[in-house]
Chains A and B, each alone.
Chain A
Amino acid sequence: MRITRRQFIKFISATAAAMGLNQLELEKVAEVLAKPSALGTLPVLWIQNQVCGGCITAFAGVFAGEVDYTDINGDNIYDTTGLVQAKALNSPGYTAGSNASSSTVDDVLLDVIDLKFMNVIMGPAGELAASILDYYENTAAGGSFVVIIDGTIPSEDKYCGLGYVAGQEIASPSNVEAIAKKAALVIAYGTCASFGGVPAAMNRKYDAVSGRYEGGMTTTAAFAGPVPDDWAANSYNLLQKVVRIPTCPGHPEALLLTVVDALEALGSAYGGRLPSGHPWKPTVAELVANIDSLGRPKKSLVLSKALGVNVWLYGQPIHLACPRLPKYNLGVFDRYFGDTRQGCLQQLGCQGPSVYTPCVSLKWNREVSSNTTCVAQGAPCVGCGAPGFPDRTLNLQYK
């Protein structure tokens, strides 16, 4: 799957509109970033661990209706012969589920996001698919690709299998850890990969054999957890940090804007488009400083520089941008769900003041006509993008 110039400009325009910013300025950004890279593409692997599928649905929604369902030879992947033809998968030109031959080169814009592996979208299945992971684990040069990790990392391989190559199982965490430790960037997308999320929630200690409650609390049987920080602590990793894009599902614009920032800061060797010395180009030091202690990017550097305003990602609590903030300041609070006074939702458990996410600044689903955010719609924020979701945040909500 490649993201075309047209798709990217559409995405930037929708983002601009959702933020209420000047369309003309943003189109300029899109034009610059849309230039084809002289140095080609940086491969991206999207690896799903213990997931529900929400993250990938949210991400695919950005390009809804425009996903290319053809394989390397331009055959529809629903045609079974396409699976056979995808054999050249380890060749440099191979892209999972993309039609490399039919679109012209100039039409391919943000080909920096060149997905080599994403099991929901890609054409090949079985060993053809699993051997892509095997290739990046054992053959590819370290630091030559980026991994986006989605879902909680289980404690043992038996809780999450990813496929078989030559009768050998590829599983999470062992193989995913080996791949991530060779990657130039490790991006944890969604609350599960960032902080543990629902699969890492506490549960009442339960004996699976007798089926009885044992008393006390434990984590789930799978003992799941977030992407460990030490996966990024090696010489291949450019930031020495796992970049975390929480919310449940992950916020797709936050992911794309963060990837753009990273590639522009790292330069053309990684697919960046801005020439050196360009005023919008972030430095690597700025990029590192932009990532907070929990691994979240505070703002979009390229868009902030281009527009001269702070385009916040995870650097501001949603409360400060909430459309109900004037009501909060006046002390008008909703007393029950659906209250016609449309006041602040704090007394219904809203955690907006302590939740740092782009939900209000970028909204959801690039929707301009309505306010597509939980708090705008009258649903108190449950803190789905905060560390400690769901246990800590739900305890606060139903205390």
Chain B
Amino acid sequence: MATYHLDPVNRIEGHLGVELTVDDGTSAVTDVRVKSMMYRGFENILYKRHQKEAITIVQRI
């Protein structure tokens, strides 16, 4: 089993990566993971805030 990364996936906005697991014998792809490589935590930032503040903050997602 070998693992290959296609990361970054460019020409899109954001940090996207793909992880492929390939069987050595058959060269078949046995597992694929599409990963978002960046985390900011908007849910946490918004938690228990005044709703008017959400207008300004959520624009920046």
- Using a CB–CB cutoff of 8 Å, the interface residues on chain A facing chain B are 48-54, 56-57, 77, 119-127, 129-130, 152, 154, 158-164, 167, 197-199, 201-204, 206, 213, 220-222, 224, 248, 382, 384, 390, 394, 398
Contacts and interface: CB of A to CB of B under 8 A. Distances in A.
Nearest to B10: A125
B33 interface: no
Given A122-B11, A220-B44, A220-B45, A162 B60 contact: no
A75 to B, nearest CB: 14
B46 to A, nearest CB: 8
Contacts of B14: 53
Contacts of B40: 50, 152, 159, 198-199, 220, 222, 224
Interface string B37-61: 1111110111111101100110011
For the side of the interface on B, what is the size category? 20 to 34
A129 B38 contact: no
A53 B13 CA distance: 6
A390 B53 contact: yes
B32 to A, nearest CB: 14
Contact of A398 (B10, B35, B47, B52): B52
A187 B44 CA distance: 29
Contact of B7 (A77, A159, A164): A164
A122 B56 CA distance: 30
Nearest to B39: A159
B10 A52 contact: no
Interface string B1-32: 00101111111111101000000000000000
Contacts of A120: 10-13
A384 to B, nearest CB: 8
A198 B9 contact: no
A124 B15 contact: no
Contact of B45 (A56, A124, A203): A203
Given A130-B7, A203-B45, A224-B40, 9 more contacts: A50-B40, A51-B38, A119-B10, A120-B10, A126-B8, A127-B5, A161-B37, A162-B37, A206-B47
